[in-house]
Amino acid sequence: MATEYSPNDDVAQLFQELFSKYLNVAALAAFLFDYFLTLSSEVHHVWGRKWEISRIIFTTSRYLPFIPSAIIVHSVFYGQKCDTNNIQDVIYNVGIVSAELILVLRTYALWERSRRVLAILMALGVVFCTAAMVIRTKVTFSLPGDSEWPYAWYSYGCTSPTWRNSAFELSFLMAFEIILQCMNTWRKFRTYRDVQSQTLNTLYWDGIMYMFGVILLTTTNVAVIAAAPIASIPALETAQVAIHSVLASRIFFNLKECDERIRGGGAEPDISLDTLRYRSLSVGTSLSRVEHSV
């Protein structure tokens, strides 16, 4: 039996849809604003430099999210052809993975460029991605009222009851980010608590604020997808990929600025961050010199 909707229900559903639309617009606007705000840092630290692995990862995480962000904003207003949804998902996920790789590089730096740590994190990332995709395709998660939702109302063209399954993917992403933050915190207070280093403090404390923002955003998005009405599900879709890019870029710039400040001849004995250059010089060697000088 079809469910009858009262005028109040219609108004509530319309408000949810409008809220979702304009929240995506706000996220795209914030993304563009931060891009131009940090463009001078990119010009200084990235442009004209050699195309290394770190620069490729940064460029991908910095620019690729503009594509799905624009598509999402267009889709929530004008609808979307379902046959392009898979392409959008691939671009969207690659953008987030690239941002996560920058977070991995930060952890790699704090762990003295340990290849074992890097290999474990990369393997863990692959396992989490595979598990998320398998669960999303094999398990259908929905709320009791989802089947009664008037899908024809909704302008976001590919709405379906399986939309909530993306909460599984984001849950694995959230778990991975929490693992990274726990590793960084343990490393800072277990290994470097007696090291007086401005660079190390910047690398850790600035990074922890950005990481907290990323984890908070992912957690909120999981809650929205899992519990909110269907019209509100895409509310944070642009924010998820855009804010990941913004915060990962700022972590990258912080690493570069710390490295540049020390290479410029600072008076304080400090740590040289060659991690993102992938050269043979080990951060561990520099750390050993610092520890002996304290």
pLDDT tens per residue, the chain (294 residues)?
Answer: 445 555 555 677 777 788 888 999 999 999 999 999 999 999 998 988 888 888 899 999 999 999 999 988 888 887 766 656 677 888 999 999 999 999 998 888 888 788 999 999 999 999 999 998 888 888 777 676 666 655 444 445 555 556 777 888 899 999 999 999 999 888 888 877 776 676 677 777 777 888 888 899 999 999 998 888 877 888 899 999 999 999 999 988 887 877 777 666 554 544 444 443 434 333 344 434 333 333
Written as one letter, the residue type at 231 is A
CA gap 34, 135 in Å, rounded: 35
Structure tokens at 39: 């463009």
For the chain, domain boundaries: 18-293
Q: Are 146 and 164 in contact (CB under 8 A)?
A: yes
Architecture (CATH level 2) of domain 18-293: Up-down Bundle (1.20)
CA gap 4, 294 in Å, rounded: 73
Structure tokens at 95: 């953008």
Predicted model pTM: 0.80
Give the residue among 239, 230, 264, 50 at the shortest CA–CA distance from 155: 230
CA 218, distance to chain mean position in Å, is 8
CA gap 177, 196 in Å, rounded: 27
Alpha carbon of 37 to those of 107, 139, 250, 253, 260: distances in Å?
A: 26, 42, 11, 12, 20
